[in-house]
Amino acid sequence: MIKPQKLPSNQFDHFYKGGYRIGSLRKGPGGPMRPEEWIGSMTTRFGEKSMGLSVLSDGTVLRDSVIESPEKWLGPEHLNFFGASTELLMKLLDPDQRLPVHYHPNKAFAKKHLSLNHGKTEAWIILEAPEGAEVGLGFEKKMTKPEVKSMVDALDSKGLLASLTKHKVKAGDTVFVPAGTPHAIGAGIFVLELQEPTDLSALLEWTDFAVDGVKDGHLGLGFDVVLDSLSYEPIPSDEAKKLVIHDRLFTSSDASVFTDVADPYFRADYLTGKQSKVAAGFSIFLALTGNGSINFENDGALDVEKGDAILIPYSAGNWELIGATGVVCRPPLAKDAARAI
Q: Which pTM value belongs to this model?
A: 0.97
Percent of the chain's residues with pLDDT above 70: 100
User: What pLDDT is stored for residue 329 in this prediction?
Assistant: 98
The amino acid occupying position 176 is F
Nearest one of 172, 176, 205, 161 to 16, comparing CA atoms: 205
Flag whether pLDDT at 29 surpasses 90.
yes
Residue 109 and residue 101: Cα distance in Å, rounded?
Answer: 20
* Confidence band for 131, pLDDT divided at 50, 70 and 90: very high
Beta-carbon contacts of 198 under 8 Å, excluding residues fewer than 6 positions away, are: 43, 46, 89, 104, 110, 116, 118, 119, 120
Dihedral of alpha carbons 246, 330, 262, 53, sign: positive
Q: Look at phi and psi of residue 323 and say left if phi exceeds 0, alpha if psi is from -120 to 50, else beta.
A: left
Residue-range domains of the chain with CATH: 9-56+88-245 (2.60.120.10)
Residue 208 and residue 192: Cα distance in Å, rounded?
Answer: 24
**Predicted confidence (pLDDT) per residue in 244-289, tens digit:** 999 999 999 999 999 999 999 999 999 999 999 999 999 999 999 9
Over residues 230-246, mean pLDDT: 97
Q: What is the mean pLDDT of the chain?
A: 97
Q: What are phi and psi of 71, to 5 degrees?
A: -70, -35
* Confidence band for 83, pLDDT divided at 50, 70 and 90: very high
Flag whether pLDDT at 341 surpasses 90.
no
Q: How far apart are the first and last CA of the chain?
A: 34
* Confidence band for 88, pLDDT divided at 50, 70 and 90: very high
User: What pLDDT is stored for residue 293 in this prediction?
Assistant: 98
**Predicted confidence (pLDDT) per residue in 30-56, tens digit:** 999 999 999 999 999 999 999 999 999
Q: Which residues pair with 302 in a beta bridge?
A: 294
**Predicted confidence (pLDDT) per residue in 289-304, tens digit:** 999 999 999 999 999 9
Over residues 97-106, mean pLDDT: 98
User: What pLDDT is stored for residue 277 in this prediction?
Assistant: 97
User: Any idea what the Cα angle at residue 35 is, between residues 121 and 111, rounded to 5°?
Assistant: 25
Nearest one of 235, 240, 268, 246 to 174, comparing CA atoms: 246
Contacts 24+ apart (CB under 8 A), 21-24: 21/94, 21/128, 21/190, 22/92, 22/94
* Confidence band for 338, pLDDT divided at 50, 70 and 90: confident
Flag whether pLDDT at 170 surpasses 90.
yes
HEC letters along the chain: CCCCEECCCCEECCCCCECHHHHHHHCCCCCCECCEEEECCCCCCCCCCCCCCCECCCCCEHHHHHHHCHHHHHCHHHHHHHCCCCCCEEEEECECCCCCCEECCCHHHHHHHHCCCCCCCEEEEEEECCCCCEEEEEECCCCCHHHHHHHHHCCCHHHHHHCEEEEECCCCCEEEECCCCCEEECCCCEEEEEECCCCCCEECCCCCCCCCHHHHCCCCCCHHHHHHHCCCCCCCHHHHHHHEECCCCCCCCCEECCCHHHCCCCEEEEECCEEEEECCCCEEEEEEECEEEEEECCCEEEEEECCCEEEECHHHCCEEEECCEEEEEECCCHHHHCCCC
User: What pLDDT is stored for residue 323 in this prediction?
Assistant: 97
User: What pLDDT is stored for residue 1 in this prediction?
Assistant: 82
User: What pLDDT is stored for residue 112 in this prediction?
Assistant: 98
User: What pLDDT is stored for residue 174 in this prediction?
Assistant: 98
Residue 75 and residue 84: Cα distance in Å, rounded?
Answer: 10
